[in-house]
Amino acid sequence: MAWRLRLAPEKTNIDFFRLQWITFGLSAVMMVASIVLIATMGFNFGIDFKGGTTIRTESTAPVDVAAYRDALDGLGLGDVTITEVFDPTFRADQHVAQVRIAAQEGVEAVTPETIATVENALKAIDPAITFPSVESVGPKVSGELVRTAFLSVAGACFGIGLYIWMRFEWQYSLGTVVALIHDVLVTAGVFSLFQLKFDLTIVAALLTILGYSVNDTVVVFDRLRENLLKFKTMPLRDVMNLSVNETLGRTLVTSGTTLLALIPLLIFGGDVIRGFIFAMTFGVFIGTYSSVYVAKNIVLWIGLPRGEQAKKVSSNKFADIDA
């Protein structure tokens, strides 16, 4: 018989509800804490959402933030932030920094002439300095991007909830939407807590997390619906535990293979994509957690139709849509 790798035994009998008040309570605490963090600390918005210009510098000489600031102080640029970028993939003689110039009131973006003046001022103190990239976003555009980002995440949650409602029942839909809000809020809370840069790539990561999380949730719910028809007298809690145990191997394989791709990128991918990869990696963990400990807990508390009523629900015209 051919050898096959298993991340979980072929048959497991884990009681996922044994600590349901602790796990669900932890989720509630994390959601509330995330809301408080976002309300009090806010986000470290990138240039996409804040507006302004970011100049990326690179040199063979070590970055002297104080010297950079002294060179730019007399240019009347307003709010200027200079940060050195560290990355294990950089060469020993590769020193990178970011000069962020906030958008000025009434000005759409920093002019090319101003950017040239900044570059000349930095070259005066470090002739070896180069400028690999310059990004500019006007304040009006950045404001529109914030609204669009919020609407895109909210629209994704609504669309996924509607799909689950049509494919299963409203109880499943409510559990899924709560799990998705949980995933987005907790991930956003982590970015607020550690003041990690929050830009459009992080919004793309949040949308990807929604799709990843709901995929795992649908697999569990699909097995749950089958088992409800198969075990008509088994208590709902036991049927849910059975369904999660039966899909546990698939969940671990899916999460594990995804992490095999993400973790090397997180370590060696460089600072440009590190925020996106971190959000994705964290999202794999929190999405798997919410599928098991949040979505099905909501469904259990609401209850599901059993017997003949369950048959009637499972025969709706959307139930056989391929997931």
Q: What is the pLDDT of residues 195-243, one digit of tens each?
A: 998 888 899 999 999 988 888 888 888 898 889 888 888 898 999 999 9
What pLDDT, on a 0 to 100 scale, did the predictor assign at position 1?
A: 45
What's the number of CA atoms in the CB half-sphere (13 Å) around residue 5? 5
Q: Is residue 2 part of a domain?
A: no
Q: What is the CATH number of the domain that holds 97?
A: 3.30.70.2040
Please indicate, yes or no, whether residues 279 and 175 belong to a single structural domain of this protein.
yes
What pLDDT, on a 0 to 100 scale, did the predictor assign at position 53?
A: 85
Please indicate, yes or no, whether residues 82 and 202 belong to a single structural domain of this protein.
no
Please indicate, yes or no, whether residues 184 and 295 belong to a single structural domain of this protein.
yes
What pLDDT, on a 0 to 100 scale, did the predictor assign at position 16?
A: 86
Please indicate, yes or no, whether residues 60 and 187 belong to a single structural domain of this protein.
no
Per-residue pLDDT at 110 exceeds 90: no
Please say which residue of 137, 166, 183 terminates a domain.
137
Q: What is the CATH number of the domain that holds 226?
A: 1.20.1640.10
User: Which residue segment(s) compose the domain that 125 sits in?
Assistant: 52-137
Phi and psi at 310, nearest 5°, equal -65, -40
Please say which residue of 88, 110, 137 terminates a domain.
137
Please say which residue of 89, 107, 137 terminates a domain.
137
Q: Is residue 10 part of a domain?
A: no
Please indicate, yes or no, whether residues 223 and 237 belong to a single structural domain of this protein.
yes
Please indicate, yes or no, whether residues 92 and 208 belong to a single structural domain of this protein.
no
Please indicate, yes or no, whether residues 169 and 277 belong to a single structural domain of this protein.
yes
Q: Is residue 159 part of a domain?
A: yes
Quickly state the pLDDT bin for 323 (edges 50, 70, 90).
very low
Please indicate, yes or no, whether residues 100 and 215 belong to a single structural domain of this protein.
no
Q: Is residue 319 part of a domain?
A: no
Per-residue pLDDT at 305 exceeds 80: no
Q: Which range (23-27, 179-183, 245-249, 318-322) has the least confidence? A: 318-322
Domain count, the chain: 2
Q: Is residue 151 part of a domain?
A: yes
Phi and psi at 233, nearest 5°, equal -105, -5
User: Using CA atoms, how far apart are residues 311 and 301, in angstroms rounded to an integer?
Assistant: 21
Please indicate, yes or no, whether residues 209 and 60 belong to a single structural domain of this protein.
no
Please indicate, yes or no, whether residues 30 and 149 belong to a single structural domain of this protein.
yes
**What mean pLDDT do residues 87-93 have?**
85
Task: Look at the alpha carbons of 103, 104, 109, 112 in this order and tell me if their dihedral is positive or negative.
Answer: negative
Please indicate, yes or no, whether residues 223 and 80 belong to a single structural domain of this protein.
no
Per-residue pLDDT at 102 exceeds 80: no
Task: Look at the alpha carbons of 142, 148, 151, 155 in this order and tell me if their dihedral is positive or negative.
Answer: negative
Q: Is residue 120 part of a domain?
A: yes
More confident residue, 187 or 85: 187
Q: Shortest CA distance to 238 belongs to which of 24, 318, 230? A: 230
Per-residue pLDDT at 146 exceeds 60: yes
Q: Is residue 207 part of a domain?
A: yes
Tokens (6 digits) for 15: 């009681």
Quickly state the pLDDT bin for 264 (edges 50, 70, 90).
very high
Quickly state the pLDDT bin for 142 (edges 50, 70, 90).
low
Q: Is residue 75 part of a domain?
A: yes
Quickly state the pLDDT bin for 106 (edges 50, 70, 90).
low
Please indicate, yes or no, whether residues 26 and 63 belong to a single structural domain of this protein.
no
